[in-house]
Structure 1
């Protein structure tokens, strides 16, 4: 009888351990879905939705192979985490417009609150990576503020040179590029800052989950992390300049799609695909 009780107790403890590990992951995944739903509901900028989706995927893969145990329900950290998470979710119900910039903070606040529910392993904080990834979303605004003036300056001249190489005889005046009677204005949103930040976030996720070890390979990735999005954005601006110079009724439709609509995101995806291909090729060489 004692032997049977011993087996039962061991199985029950194993069940509770597995249950605790799955609970914390379930809470994180449910919150990621809630954050995605709120961004879609308020019709946030597609660039924000795409970036948030990328970071959510990164968080999902980061926790997938980790043992995340939930703390004792009576611990101060658990109670405080539940309190903060409740406030975070309650506040999100009042997030009904993209003018409310709380949508930048929902993901990092929620993930940080959930991390308080889990046990912190000494010398190895299991939640450090996902907290860092979640705070990349509001960091986008800081990145834009710091780097957009530099990228605008580079983009203006590189787009001009690219069009010159195509034989279109462009004229550069300030931020405007003229081709015949058509004018392309390199405005604040044309610097490709979002494109570059999207690529940087992708590389960060790769480095956290499947890190390259060779220093030379890392230098290649760091260089391409800035060069590839800069190049794709120059190509995008050059295409826009060509579109507005077309003698066709569809030129306005093409310009709107690649400038204001989801078409602009295609170039961000191209940048990520190019860099991902190179990154995993280098990783495969290291593993072999």
Structure 2
């Protein structure tokens, strides 16, 4: 059946003008490897679509990042990938995948099981590609996918009240450095014209958990051998997330103090719209710079160039 589809598609392509046909890539042959890769891509896209339709933009971006990390961890295996599953593993993987798709269709806004569907889907793909004894080759991609339930767990474990109070205090410090007349009262950051109140969804918990999980992805994809550097990364990651969110809260307080409070475009853009992702991107960029600096310390020094005039 798949061969017939490919032949029909190639027949339609041959009817197009040569200039159009040259711009369209050829359809890969329906080998077991290509079919498995297409199925894996479909599972990842479907999972990301469920996050997009039921969760915040921050969580959706994180889900896409986790799937991207899984791809990076498996990139060196794509060339020699040749699915040869056990019969019962293929059946079990298929049943798990069907259940994942069925369960995804009834996801509501906050459903903790949503965060477990990605690693279950990844396990089902593994069972459809290899015998159970060889599932170890998918260890790093599966660990990446496990970061989604890990993220949900961190969001429940990390204390909300102390982080909210610390976020308000640090935001007030940045505003005072700018010379603004700021008053911090518990969770409230107040300026003469208005202010903001730091509640649970705005205290940066999600950003701190995301940067921690990004650190795990980096360690899996680009390992650092030094345990000291690893511990330092896990101490720095939530601090970077916290600080970047305090800059966002300080910016929102400035908007509110100048009459652009909740309901105005600028405030809503940086509060709960795409603008808040700017600070997530900055946090990931800063963490990436720290990570690359620590990684470079473990690389051997480049060989010194030969003296001028010396023959090669």
Q: TM-score scaled to structure 2, two decimals?
A: 0.75
Q: Using the TM superposition, give the Cα deviation of residue 135 of structure 1 relative to its aligned residue in structure 2, in angstroms.
A: 2.6
Residues 1:227 and 2:239 aligned together: yes
Shift of the 259–249 alpha-carbon distance from structure 1 to 2, 3 Å rule, reads: closer
Q: Using the TM superposition, give the Cα deviation of residue 249 of structure 1 relative to its aligned residue in structure 2, in angstroms.
A: 9.5
Q: Using the TM superposition, give the Cα deviation of residue 128 of structure 1 relative to its aligned residue in structure 2, in angstroms.
A: 2.4
Shift of the 250–92 alpha-carbon distance from structure 1 to 2, 3 Å rule, reads: closer
Residues 1:119 and 2:130 aligned together: yes
Q: Using the TM superposition, give the Cα deviation of residue 100 of structure 1 relative to its aligned residue in structure 2, in angstroms.
A: 5.5
Shift of the 219–143 alpha-carbon distance from structure 1 to 2, 3 Å rule, reads: closer
Contact kept in structure 1, 2:127 and 2:135, CA below 8 Å: no
Matched residues, number: 268
Q: 2:254 aligns to what?
A: 242
Contact kept in structure 2, 1:120 and 1:126, CA below 8 Å: no
1:136-175 correspondence to structure 2 within 5 Å: 136-149=147-160, 150-175=162-187
Contact kept in structure 2, 1:25 and 1:63, CA below 8 Å: no
Residues 1:64 and 2:78 aligned together: no
Q: Partners in 1 of 2:171 and 2:119 — Cα distance? A: 36
Q: Using the TM superposition, give the Cα deviation of residue 69 of structure 1 relative to its aligned residue in structure 2, in angstroms.
A: 4.7
Q: Deviation per CA, 1:240-260, whole angstroms, max 9, x where unpaired?
A: 111111157999321111111
Q: TM-score scaled to structure 1, two decimals?
A: 0.81
Find the partner of 1:48 among 46, 52, 59.
59
Q: Using the TM superposition, give the Cα deviation of residue 120 of structure 1 relative to its aligned residue in structure 2, in angstroms.
A: 5.1
Q: Using the TM superposition, give the Cα deviation of residue 21 of structure 1 relative to its aligned residue in structure 2, in angstroms.
A: 4.8
Q: Partners in 2 of 1:220 and 1:267 — Cα distance? A: 22
Q: Using the TM superposition, give the Cα deviation of residue 85 of structure 1 relative to its aligned residue in structure 2, in angstroms.
A: 1.1
Find the partner of 1:106 among 114, 117, 127.
117
Q: CA RMSD in A?
A: 2.8
Q: Using the TM superposition, give the Cα deviation of residue 81 of structure 1 relative to its aligned residue in structure 2, in angstroms.
A: 1.4
Q: Partners in 2 of 1:142 and 1:92 — Cα distance? A: 20
Flag structure 2 segments of 5+ consecutive residues without an equivalent: 1-30, 301-312
1:72-221 correspondence to structure 2 within 5 Å: 72=85, 74=87, 76-95=88-107, 98=109, 102-119=113-130, 125-149=136-160, 150-221=162-233
Deviates more, 1:272-281 or 1:132-141: 132-141
SS in 2 for 1:240: helix
Contact kept in structure 1, 2:261 and 2:267, CA below 8 Å: no
Q: Using the TM superposition, give the Cα deviation of residue 32 of structure 1 relative to its aligned residue in structure 2, in angstroms.
A: 0.7
Shift of the 276–99 alpha-carbon distance from structure 1 to 2, 3 Å rule, reads: closer
Contact kept in structure 1, 2:165 and 2:186, CA below 8 Å: no
